Copies of this chain bind each other. A is one copy, B any other.
Amino acid sequence: MTDAIVFTRGVPPTEAFPTRQLAECFTAVLEGDTAVVLQYGQQQGYLPLRQELAKEYRVSEAEVLVGNGSLHLQDLLSAHLIRPGSVVFTEQPSYDRAITTFRRRGARVVGIPLESDGISVQHLEAALKRDVPAFLYLVPDFQNPAGATLSREKRQRVVELANQYGFWVLEDIPYRKLRYQGQEHPLLREFDASRIITLSSFSKLLSPGLRVGFMLAPADLIKAVTKLEEDTVLSPVLPSQAAVAEYIRRGWLQPNIDQLKALYRPRWEAMANAVRSHLPGAQAFIPDGGFFVSVILPEAARTENLMGRAKDHGLILTPGAPFFADPHDGKAVPSNRFLRLPFCAVTPAQIEEGVRRLASLL
């Protein structure tokens, strides 16, 4: 039996973690700011980290909330914005845990088809004529799960629609800084921030175990979500937030991102090449960055029991359906033909072999 090749979750590999540097930062902040880091408080997040983020994103400190991972902030934001009868729009496919979070907080989730340059604005406009959502959830850069990036033109249009119809747009950008080619587009908030909530984290840039995520939004929204956070966890976990602030202060973040790109770029190329050469009949999203290539398998592909057959051949795949708010929507890609292929935690050789195995099963 060959070793299993795992194309499932979007997790960084252990060799991506700047362990020694993080240890130094933890020591520095524990000893240098003991009275704050080891105490209750800083409900809106560790102040020096909020200051670093405010500077980077050109917002005020009152517009920054740092919490125990971005999923927690997303959950609290959902608790604040979702009311009985609320609708939330997502791309279709979208991040499965986001869909779950919105539903658990009581929303009806409507999936808007995703195209190679991001959400279908045509379908979005049609959906807005039926329902105005509490918010639209987007992963505009190197989307999870598909890898697509929202074009500049569509970004501008989405912001216009948000202002016109009066709904929030939640732009979730954890992968944005991991770009392997091409120029980045402006953030949605750079067109007009009044209806935009930006969510991101250091999970992909430093370490997921630290659980340091942040939200940028108008000050009154930040205040309301901070209150919910305080009522839920009292204070955030401060040593890890302070270690991240120290890491940034020392100027180590950009060099670390450069190292991550050097580690991930060959894997990204290997996945792009393998998909192109072994899955010629599939429609592939090859992103300009991030963690995920995705494919829509040919109509004739043998997708029945694909997960199980792949496992028997030493290939672990994630089913497509959980990424679809409405897997049975006729306009959408059939979810059983959609595959997310994360490449960051697997070597080029594993990628080549894994896609070869996949092709042999179709």
- Does A277 sit at the interface, judged by CB under 8 A? no
A117 to B169, CA, bound (A): 55
**Which interface residue of A12, A19, A68, A104 has the most chain B CB atoms within 10 A?**
A68
Q: How far does the Cβ of A174 sit from chain B's closest Cβ, in whole Å?
A: 12
Q: With A19-B31, A23-B26, A23-B27 in contact, is A39–B231 under 8 Å at CB?
A: no
Which residue in chain B gives the minimum CB-CB distance to A26?
B26
Q: With A27-B26, A68-B233, A233-B71 in contact, is A239–B240 under 8 Å at CB?
A: yes
A234 to B203, CA, bound (A): 12
A37 to B206, CA, bound (A): 12
A232 to B26, CA, bound (A): 26
Task: Work out how many copies of this chain go into the complex.
Answer: 2
- Does A208 sit at the interface, judged by CB under 8 A? yes
A19 touches B39 (CB 8 A): no
Partner of A38, one of B22, B38, B41, B69: B22
**Chain B residues within an 8 Å CB radius of A9:** 40
Per-position binary interface string of chain A over residues 22-59, scored 1 when its CB falls under 8 Å from any chain B CB and 0 otherwise: 11001100110011111111000000000000000000
Per-position binary interface string of chain A over residues 1-34, scored 1 when its CB falls under 8 Å from any chain B CB and 0 otherwise: 0000000010110100101101100110011001
- Does A226 sit at the interface, judged by CB under 8 A? no
**Chain B residues within an 8 Å CB radius of A30:** 19, 22-23, 26
B208 touches A40 (CB 8 A): yes
Which residue in chain B gives the minimum CB-CB distance to A9?
B40
Within 8 A of B (CB), among A292-337: none
Q: How far does the Cβ of A5 sit from chain B's closest Cβ, in whole Å?
A: 18
**Chain B residues within an 8 Å CB radius of A243:** 239
- Does A179 sit at the interface, judged by CB under 8 A? no
A48 to B74, CA, bound (A): 29
Within 8 A of B (CB), among A167-211: 203, 207-211
- Does A236 sit at the interface, judged by CB under 8 A? yes
Q: List 7 A-B contacts (CB under 8 A).
A: A14-B34, A19-B38, A36-B209, A39-B207, A210-B237, A210-B238, A239-B239
